[in-house]
Amino acid sequence: MIDTHCHLDVDAFAADRAAVLARAQAAGVTGLLVPAIRPRTWAALTALPAAHPDAPLALALGIHPQVVPELDGDERALIDRLADAIAAARTERVVAVGECGLDGNAGERILQGAVFTAHLTAARALGLPLVIHVIRAHEIVPAMLAQARAHEVGGVIHSFSGSAELVKVYADLGFACSFAGPVTWPRARKPKWAAAAVPAERLLAETDCPDQSPEGWRGRRNEPAALPEVIAGLAQARDADPQAIAALTAANARRVFPAAARFW
């Protein structure tokens, strides 16, 4: 199993990160993708693999749309030269650009759009796939992806929040759809319908930890060891065998993020 979205660099894991990684391995997780949140955390993020040399870590560098309103002056100065900034911070473990995107629940939508556009340009310049966050902005993002020719690098719409009909829109643009804990929640029908509609070759799994805990982990911190429950939720939504979904999503992850395959 490969967890294509887990924020293991955040403070929620500072006290027991090694134990979290050990539990992930024991649960059968063979790959982890950790996306950045903001530029001032990039240095600590890129240092993680050296601190945990036995962990199958891959990384993405970018700016989360939810933090755009609180970026400091130095971080904002990077927007106009984002490709150069990512290239300068890049290590062999950096296999994608992100987390980036648009979030209708966060402020400064105009600046969010400019930051997202900078990521789309940077991804094509660097030849790296994108890790995209979209909440309440599905009416805008597909057109931005098409205009930026983002299909040339592809990537994933993480923790997919759109409808089953939107799955085809993103698939036609060259993007995978990934699902986290909500696909296991009993009353959450929309992610189940969307998961069932994803073409097999476009399906990915994630935890998005420490948030979005699956049903069996509700009320406590989420972590990569919860990925088997997400896999089980996807299997139920698609009327498939969990082992088959685990193998499928792992193979897809290695294809969507080819530079990570040697670490996974």
pLDDT at position 218 is: 87
For the whole prediction, is pTM greater than 0.95?
yes
Give, as one character, the DSSP assignment of residue 37.
S
One-letter amino acid of 209: C
pLDDT at position 84 is: 98
What is the secondary structure of 188-220 as a DSSP string?
A: -HHHHHHHHHS-GGGEEE---BTSS--GGGTTS
Cβ–Cβ < 8 Å for 226, 207: yes
- CA angle, corner 52, sides to 51 and 53, nearest 5? 105
Encode the chain (264 residues) as per-residue pLDDT tens digits.
999 999 999 999 999 999 999 999 999 999 999 999 999 999 999 999 999 999 999 999 999 999 999 999 999 999 999 999 999 999 999 999 999 999 999 999 999 999 999 999 999 999 999 999 999 999 999 999 999 999 999 999 999 999 999 999 999 999 999 999 999 999 999 999 999 999 999 999 999 999 999 999 988 999 999 999 999 999 999 999 999 999 999 999 999 999 999 999
Residue 129, token pair as written in the block: 């796939």
pLDDT at position 83 is: 98
Cβ–Cβ < 8 Å for 130, 83: no
pLDDT at position 70 is: 97
User: Which of helix, strand or coil describes residue 15?
Assistant: coil
Domains of the chain: 2-260 (3.20.20.140)
